[in-house]
Structure 1
Amino acid sequence: MKLVFAAASPFVRKVHVVLHETGLLEEVEIVPVATSPFDSPAEVVAANPLGKIPALIRDEGPSIYDSRVICRYLDDRAQAGLYPQARLWEVLTLEATADAIMEAAISIVYEHRFRPPEKVYDGWCDAQWGKIDRAVAALNARWMSHLNGPLDAGQIAVGCALAYLDFRHGERNWRKGNDALDDWFAVFAEREAMRATRPE
């Protein structure tokens, strides 16, 4: 298998962490690419017609894409139990919440990176951060018992989302007022899989 890969992407990192946690890393060749909303290399488009990463090129079937699909596939392949049936809907909801945090955070980055400075819309960025702020507060208020439970895909997604906020939006300080989540992340971020996948 081959993973179409960019280290700075939190969605790619989520898959990369799952590869580490499931013991499948040695089965996958990492294919680094440089991509943007305006420029998708041919190898990315060949794996995903939307030109987005991550994408997993399989030997036994067509490429699959979207980090949630890839993570479910890898978990099933390894029988790792990252999507336990007993709490499946909670895991999927937690993963969806984390992915939405990532999407909003990337949207802010793109607003500044790909628009001329005079066309950057601060109101858009503030609205995206509002989504992030509400989601992080909800994690802190409602999800700590789950986050402190056995490892699952929801925890991995949340860990990667919070790490991306530190990586790209540290000045906004998601930790303020979210002490329980901050304490959890301080421990989770030191997992071997998280340490091994930190972007430079």
Structure 2
Amino acid sequence: MKLYHNPASPYTRKVMVLAHETGLVDRIELMPIKVWEETDRIRSDNPLGKIPTLINDDGQAVYDSTVICAYLDSLHDGPKMIPEGDARWPVENLHALAQGMTDAALSLRADVMRGLDKQADFYSDRMRATIKSACDEAERRISEIDGKVNLGTVALGVGLAYLDFRFPENAWRDGRPGLSAWYAAFSERPSMKATPPA
């Protein structure tokens, strides 16, 4: 398999962390890409021109990160990152929370890239509020999150790491001791250490 890859992308990192956790990482060949400069290169496989995009062993493109993670989860025999039955929905719900938080952070990052980050407006304020609210909810749910490794916790760990990477001034740890302690422990996992943003 091949993966269009950029280590600064939290969605690419989510896929890579899951690949490490499921023992599939050695089956993936990374294809580095600067997506903002090489969009046409990726459009031949993904008409959306976005990363990550996985090319499976049959030559078929799989996208976006959520679908890639589900696809990878179908390829291994270990504990599933997306469990079946009633256990699935809390994981999917946490994944949606973390994904929404990361989407908001990426929207703010797009403002920086466009030179609009110094302008306060309704949209950027809403994105900051989304990040705060998502972190507050994760803190409230820490007892159900702690000690688990699944698609939801991977997405949460990667999303918080992205905040540290792009917005260190965010101070998301303030007033959230449970989430802060959980993230400190989760960051020590080999899968997280092997996939630092850059």
Report the TM range for the smaller structure's normalisation. over 0.9
- Shifted more, 120-129 versus 100-109: the winner is 120-129
Contact conserved, 1:104 with 1:129, CA < 8 A, in 2? Answer: yes
Residue 91 of structure 1: aligned partner: 91
Shift of 1:48: 1.1
Cα deviation, residue 126, structure 1: 2.1
Match of 2:71 in 1: 73
TM-score (norm 2): 0.93
Q: In the alignment, residue 171 of structure 2 is paired with which amino acid?
A: N
1:54 corresponding residue in structure 2: 52
Could you tell me whether the CA contact under 8 Å between 2:10 and 2:197 is conserved in 1? no
User: Between the two proteins, what is the percent identity of the paired residues?
Assistant: 38
Q: Offset at 1:114?
A: 1.8
What letter matches 1:24 in structure 2?
Answer: L
Give the match for residue 193 of structure 1. 191
TM-score, structure 1 normalization: 0.92
Task: For residues 125-171 of structure 1, give each alpha carbon's deviation from its aligned partner in whole angstroms, at most 9, with x where no partner exists.
Answer: 22211000001101101x21221143111110000000000001110
The secondary structure found in structure 2 opposite 1:47 is coil
Gaps of 5+ in 2: none
What SS class does the counterpart of residue 75 from structure 2 fall into?
helix
1:110 is aligned to: 110
Match of 1:63 in 2: 61
Which residue matches 1:164?
162
Q: Distance in 2 between matches of 1:146 and 1:46?
A: 41
Q: Distance in 2 between matches of 1:134 and 1:63?
A: 34
Does structure 1 residue 134 correspond to structure 2 residue 151? no
Say which structure is richer in helix.
1
Query: How much has 1:120 moved relative to structure 2?
Result: 5.5
Unaligned 5+ runs, structure 1: none
Q: Name the amino acid aligned to 1:185.
A: Y
Instruction: Supply the RMSD in Å over aligned alpha carbons.
Output: 1.5
CA distance in 2 between partners of 1:121 and 1:78 (Å): 47
| Equivalent residue pairs, number | 195
